[in-house]
Chains A and B, each alone.
Chain A
Amino acid sequence: MVSPTKMTPKKLSKQLVKKHKNLIKKYNREQVLVDRIFILGEKKDQLEHWAKTSDEDESNTGKIMKQKSLVDKELSELRDEYEKNIGSLDKLNAKKGRSDLESVLKKHEEALEYWKNKNREYSKKKT
């Protein structure tokens, strides 16, 4: 950690650039995870729907249930991973989270740009 008296705007702006880069990386990972959970949730709904409507064809129903169990397993693993690294997430949050994350990422992109520019300015000023 830089001691207060040795801290400069150039150094601090560089640390802020790093901060936002890390946050963008983190939120990107989160976004990928949320997207996958959302898609798998949709797929699970679809498979459940298909399972209800294909009573005559048992072999087909078996296939659907097998697929659903694979989806459930993956969904459960992803939810565990999410809850372990990010927090609790229900179906509704996942939906809302997607749009929130986009806006959060956008803000961090802007912030990253801002601090990058500032860092360039301070580097020129040699502060």
Chain B
Amino acid sequence: MEKQKQGVLKKENMNEKELKKKVNGLRKDVEKRNKKIDSLFTEFNLHKAEADKLRLERDSLNDKTKEDIAKAKELTKKRNQLNNKVSKIKKEREKIISRMKSLGSDITEVKAERNGFNRKARGNTDSLNELYNKKIQILLDDDIPLTYEIKLFDRIFKIKERIVAAEKADKFHNKVVAEYDKIKGLEDKAHEITKRIESAADESQQYHEQAMQLYKRVDAVRNEANKIHQKLLEKYKLMDALRDNISELKEELTEYKKEMEPFSDELKSIRLNKEEKKKDKDAIKAKKKLRKKGRVNLNDLKLLLDRKELDLKE
């Protein structure tokens, strides 16, 4: 405003030349700033293009990170599901092992009973039956003394007791064998379950490793994205500085334009006056020419018409 005031105040006292000088001086300043603004815009646009590129790069990396995290979550979910499955199967196996142990202790008891009967039998069923039949045959078929018969009679019933014990031992032995078969069946089942556990654990480990690899990659990509983000922030800083610079220059331009306007208007007014005066002179000359020669050229005619020095009805 002060400048404008000074300009308003001053212009009254300035001639055309001085005004022209002043306006040209201001115009040069404006042009200088315009050029500076253009150059700053070019620089700004370069940074903007780079920033756009960086932002795209950063966003793409962030998207990749999001994708990888989603994948890793899916993998850990699968891993956890498998781990739960493994725990469940392990419980199943524990039950089988406990049943095997119980059968094992049953076998120990049954074996103890079998061994007791074996000790009592002192021989197997077949050999004892053979011995029994041999003794029966002697007792019933051979002509032997009564004393021997009495001895054999007692002996036969002792053998019979041993046969009964041997048959009981056989029964217990068969039970032991059956229990062993059961244990074998359970062992096979436990083995099969162990295989299932191993397979599920391997699969779970694979998912775990894949997830960990993804998380590792996520960290690396995130670091890269952060670096790019930092670069982008630096770019934004530069761009903000340029933008501020441009704004300042634009403000200056507005100031200059404001300052220049009164001088420019004054100059225009002087020039218009000058022109009007010249046109007046030319019109007088043309009018004289018309009166003298009765005709004027097209330019003069136009001038006369513009200045209303000539009515076409005349």
Contacts and interface: CB of A to CB of B under 8 A. Distances in A.
A14 to B, nearest CB: 11
A81 B164 CA distance: 46
Interface string A1-30: 100110101001101100100010000000
Interface string B150-180: 1001001101100110010000000000000
A111 interface: yes
Interface string B119-163: 000000000110010001001110101100110010011011001
Given A23-B143, A111-B146, A16 B160 contact: no
A115 B152 CA distance: 13
B140 A9 contact: no
Contacts of B149: 16, 111, 115
Contact of A15 (B129, B132, B140): B140
Which secondary structure characterizes the binding site on chain A? helix
Contacts of B160: 4-5, 7
Contact of A16 (B153, B157, B159, B164): B153
Nearest to B164: A5
A7 B128 CA distance: 14
Interface residues of B, number: 20
A114 B143 CA distance: 15
Contacts of A9: 153, 157
Contact of B132 (A4, A16, A104, A115): A4
A7 B140 contact: no
Given A19-B140, A107-B146, A111-B146, A12 B163 contact: no
A15 B163 CA distance: 21
Contacts of B164: 5
Contact of B153 (A12, A23, A104): A12
Interface residues of A, number: 17
A110 interface: yes
Interface string A79-112: 0000000000000000000000000100100110
Contacts of A4: 128-129, 132, 159-160, 163
Contacts, number: 38
B242 to A, nearest CB: 116
Of residues B129, B146, B164, which shows the largest number of chain A Cβ atoms within 10 Å of its Cβ? Answer: B146
A16 B139 contact: yes
Nearest to B162: A4
B163 A16 contact: no
A110 B167 contact: no
Contacts of B157: 7, 9, 12
Contacts of B128: 4
Of residues A1, A7, A107, which shows the largest number of chain B Cβ atoms within 10 Å of its Cβ? Answer: A7
B131 to A, nearest CB: 10
A12 B155 CA distance: 12
Contacts of A19: 140-141
Of residues A12, A23, A104, which shows the largest number of chain B Cβ atoms within 10 Å of its Cβ? Answer: A12
A114 B146 CA distance: 9
Nearest to A9: B157
A77 B129 CA distance: 44
Contact of A107 (B129, B145, B156): B145
Nearest to B125: A4
B167 A12 contact: no
A79 to B, nearest CB: 23
Contact of B156 (A1, A5, A7, A111): A7
B302 to A, nearest CB: 157
Contacts of A111: 146, 149
A52 B160 CA distance: 68
Given A7-B160, A16-B139, 14 more contacts: A4-B128, A4-B129, A4-B132, A5-B167, A7-B156, A9-B157, A12-B157, A13-B153, A19-B141, A107-B145, A110-B146, A114-B146, A114-B150, A115-B149
16 contacts: A4-B128, A4-B129, A4-B132, A4-B159, A5-B164, A5-B167, A7-B157, A7-B160, A9-B153, A12-B139, A12-B153, A12-B157, A16-B153, A104-B143, A110-B146, A111-B146
